[in-house]
Amino acid sequence: MDLNYVMREAKAFARDHIISALDIGDREFQILLEKTLKQLSVYYPHITNHFVIIKRDRIPGSNNRFYINLEEPYEECTVLKCYNVIDFGGVTMYGDAMFKDYFAHQALTDMSSYLVPSMTLQFMPPNEITLYPYNYTWHQTVGRFTIKIGITHKKDLSTLPPQVIMNEFMELFKVNIAETILTFRKYFAQLQTTSGEINLDLQIFEDYYSKKQDVMDKLESKMLKHDNSPRIYVY
């Protein structure tokens, strides 16, 4: 399942119900796809680790503020959320460690609490973070640290699971197509041709557009069940 499949399905949905002369073009489909990706990313962000190189990414004139410079393969994406610091200078933050053995986990927690200060992040869109607390020694001797971030999905859909593409993504994509067609068609209830008058049947699009709130509510409900999902609003 790939981008070509999604575009074929979307175009078939639109073209099965309106005449081709009034169809929306490839450029409009691409714009709607990107809009849908941004909306879906609010509820299903792509979560990944990101290296912050202190000397390279530090904001000039500051000590503990840094840019998040996304690199390949995520340079096209937008940062939506920063979750936590995973490691600082190669030392794993104890809050992010996962162990089946409770005692091993506790031992690492005790050791890390002495070696690594508890660190928190403040995210400032579109791509800045502030790291707390500021420690001069650590920041001068450590070359990089790793943070967990949530970003928009890639335009080729490669970061979306197939089941999400089939279900939530396609539902939201069709809602956006229906909304766009209805916005354009509301001025044309009928079409005059050399063969006579054609009534444009837009009922299926009206039906899909009426489902918009249900689709958004479903995504909201699933987001609330996902511990790492950020609450961000895209207009």
Give this prediction's pTM.
Answer: 0.73
Mark whether 15 and 91 lie in a shared domain.
Answer: no
| Whole-number percent of the chain with pLDDT over 90 | 30
Which residue did the predictor score with more confidence, 93 or 39? 39
Lookup: tokens for 211 = 């489902």
Angle between the 212-224 and 203-210 helix axes, to the nearest 10 degrees?
30
Q: Considering the domain boundaries, does residue 235 fall inside one? A: no
Look up residue 16 and give its two tokens. 């099965």
Amino acid at 30: Q
Please report which confidence band the pLDDT of residue 195 belongs to, taking 50, 70 and 90 as the band edges: low
**Which pLDDT value is given to residue 199?**
56
User: Does residue 62 share a domain with residue 91?
Assistant: yes
Task: Report pLDDT for 86.
Answer: 86
Rounded to an integer, the average pLDDT of 153-174 is 90
Longest dimension (CA), the chain: 83
Co-location of 174 and 219 in the same domain: yes
- The answer to whether residues 38 and 72 belong to one domain is no
pLDDT above 60 (res 106) = no
Please indicate, yes or no, whether residues 50 and 145 belong to a single structural domain of this protein: yes
Residues 77, 36 share a domain: no
Question: Does residue 220 lie within any of the structural domains?
Answer: yes
55 and 38 in one domain?
no
The predicted structure's pLDDT at residue 224: 60
The length of the chain is 235
Domain count for the chain: 2
Per-residue pLDDT, 139: 64
Range of the structural domain that residue 70 is part of: 46-151
Among 115, 169, 150, which residue's Cα sits nearest to residue 3? 169
Domain end call among 151, 179, 209? 151
Q: Where are the beta strands (DSSP E) in 13-127?
A: 46-53, 65-67, 79-88, 91-92, 120-124
199 domain residue, yes or no: yes
Domain contains 231: no
Return the beta strands (E) in the chain as ranges.
Answer: 46-53, 65-67, 79-88, 91-92, 120-124, 128-132, 144-151, 190-193, 196-199
Considering 131, 151, 171, which residue would you say is the last residue of a domain? 151
Residues 27 and 116 in one domain: no
